[in-house]
């Protein structure tokens, strides 16, 4: 296990539900990321936070709503999702944003939308 944890590890939700994914990093990093990993597709960057400020929103639908209350915690609030949103959602953190800083990934949340 790295210093990035994600809960829950598995989540099944209906299209009308509201749920939240949680990510926590214990590495003292200042940047956090949400990625979506779908089967047979490249990982897609969804959001980037630096020092609790969103610095990138990669054209993600509004049914995904991120929240970063402090530099150690990152949430992804989900509502009225579609079946095609079923995927593995990975959180990552790095000391700072920028290509020189390694991203450390969490184990992911496997989301199934029914």
Partner 1 sequence: AQTVTQSQPEMSVQEAETVTLSCTYDTSESDYYLFWYKQPPSRQMILVIRQEAYKQQNATENRFSVNFQKAAKSFSLKISDSQLGDAAMYFCAYRSDSWKSSGDKLTFGTGTRLAVRP
List residues binding partner 1 (CB under 8 A): 1-2, 31, 33, 40-43, 45, 48, 50, 55-56, 58, 88, 90, 92, 97-100, 102-103, 105-108
Position of tokens 């509502």? Answer: 79
- To partner 1, the closest distance from the beta carbon of 4 in angstroms equals 8
**Of residues 17 and 71, the one with the C-beta less far from partner 1:** 71
**Of residues 25 and 97, the one with the C-beta less far from partner 1:** 97
Give the Cα separation of 67 and 34 in Å (integer). 11
């Amino acid at each position: 296990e790295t210093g990035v944890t994600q809960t829950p590890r598995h989540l099944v939700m209906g299209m009308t539900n509201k749920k939240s994914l949680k990510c926590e990093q214990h590495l003292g990093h200042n940047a956090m990321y949400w990625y979506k990993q779908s089967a047979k597709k490249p990982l897609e960057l969804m959001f980037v936070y630096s020092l609790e400020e969103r610095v990138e929103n990669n054209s993600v639908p509004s049914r995904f709503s991120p929240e970063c209350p402090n530099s150690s915690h990152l949430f992804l609030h989900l509502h009225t999702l579609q079946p095609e949103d079923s995927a593995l959602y990975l959180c990552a953190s790095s000391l700072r944003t920028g290509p020189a800083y390694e991203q450390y990934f969490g184990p992911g949340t496997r989301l199934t939308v029914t």
